[in-house]
A = this chain, B = another copy of it.
Amino acid sequence: MKVVIVLYTAGKHAEDESRLYGCTENALGIKEELEKAGHTVVVTADKEGSNSEFEKNLPDADIVITTPFHPAYLTKERLQKAKKLKLVVVAGVGSDHIDLDYINQNKLDISVLEVTGSNVVSVAEHVVMTILILVRNFVPAHEQIMAGEWDVAGIAKDSFDIENKTIATIGAGRIGYRVLERLVPFNPKELLYYDYQALPAEAEKKVGARRVTDLKELVAQADIVTINCPLHAGSKGLINKELLKHFKKGSWLVNTARGAICVAADVAEAVENGTLRGYGGDVWFPQPAPKDHPWRKFHNQYGAGNAMVPHYSGTVIDAQVRYANGTKAIVESFLSGKFDYRPQDIILLNGQYKTKAYGDDKKV
């Protein structure tokens, strides 16, 4: 078997931290074992364009392993070249960089698996952190200290508690629900959620959340909105100029789901013109984000309101340990011929959808 693994290159960082599994140097901790068993393993960070190592190795690859942090995009064109491909493993969560509908509709015998749950806690923590950073106005406060300054009023005037605010999540699945759970003791005014299905009554009661079935009505009521849904045809560009008109003036938006759920220029403009007080998160399109991406530059009227970071919330060390172990288990299950995958990890099994989260008929 030929296994092609696409990961970011960590250089000296891989030496600094041996648990940094998700990089080319440490190769999820599975390279040696696979080679010892007689398989060919190609590990590369070079993933863009037809001359990339990734694309050159696609035609005879049996297994492709990629991550959402440095995604090897599997487009229709690339899938047509990958004649031997049987298994795609996402070391992490989120398969939107793969044209799942193309595989499904053309009945390609390809299975796509994620390590479900490996990132949920990490991302939920990042969401709560980003809400606090934006609402409490951390970034300019820290910059002030580093610049040798001290101007409490300049920070305080744009700084608030999250207590007694209405907080809404778009998507109340594994991550969105964990965000709600973590927000409860902060005593929000109300927790709202929007999802294609209602939470079980018990789960809804536990966090005291109220479902709102109209997205415009949801954002119109919320002081803080957080996006926690998958990217698919139904959610691409969901947050655009039109929907932003319905947001509460001066609210905050956090997105750790996928960059393409937002129209980048529209969101940047919304912060610049005061529709939003701030925007933050770790997801971009494309990734790595180009130097001139609008999210690297926007600020509100006070030079604040930007809490962007590179895509790393689900790749902290604790998460790397989880998804390295999960990837190993999936690959071993495939190679053994047992295919005894964890059901929740399966996105496509031999081309067939095994999840409700993807597919071109999806709502959020």
Task: Identify the A interface with B (CB < 8 A).
Answer: 8-11, 13-14, 16-17, 20, 22-23, 69-70, 121-122, 125-126, 128-129, 132-133, 136-139, 141-142, 144-146, 148, 150-164, 181-182, 184-187, 282, 287-289, 291, 295-296, 302, 306-313, 315-320
Contacts and interface: CB of A to CB of B under 8 A. Distances in A.
B309 A156 contact: no
B296 A155 contact: no
B309 A138 contact: yes
Given A121-B161, A156-B317, A185-B185, A312 B20 contact: no
B144 A133 contact: no
26 contacts: A8-B153, A9-B153, A10-B154, A16-B157, A16-B302, A17-B157, A20-B153, A23-B153, A121-B161, A121-B163, A121-B187, A125-B163, A136-B316, A145-B295, A145-B308, A145-B309, A145-B310, A150-B310, A152-B310, A152-B311, A156-B312, A156-B320, A159-B316, A159-B317, A160-B316, A182-B185
A123 to B, nearest CB: 10
A20 B157 contact: yes
Nearest to A126: B136
A13 B160 CA distance: 15
A296 B146 contact: yes
Contacts of A69: 152
Count copies of this chain in the complex. 2
Nearest to A311: B152
B146 A10 contact: no
Nearest to A289: B150
A163 B312 contact: no
A256 B113 CA distance: 44
Contacts of A307: 142
B310 A162 contact: no
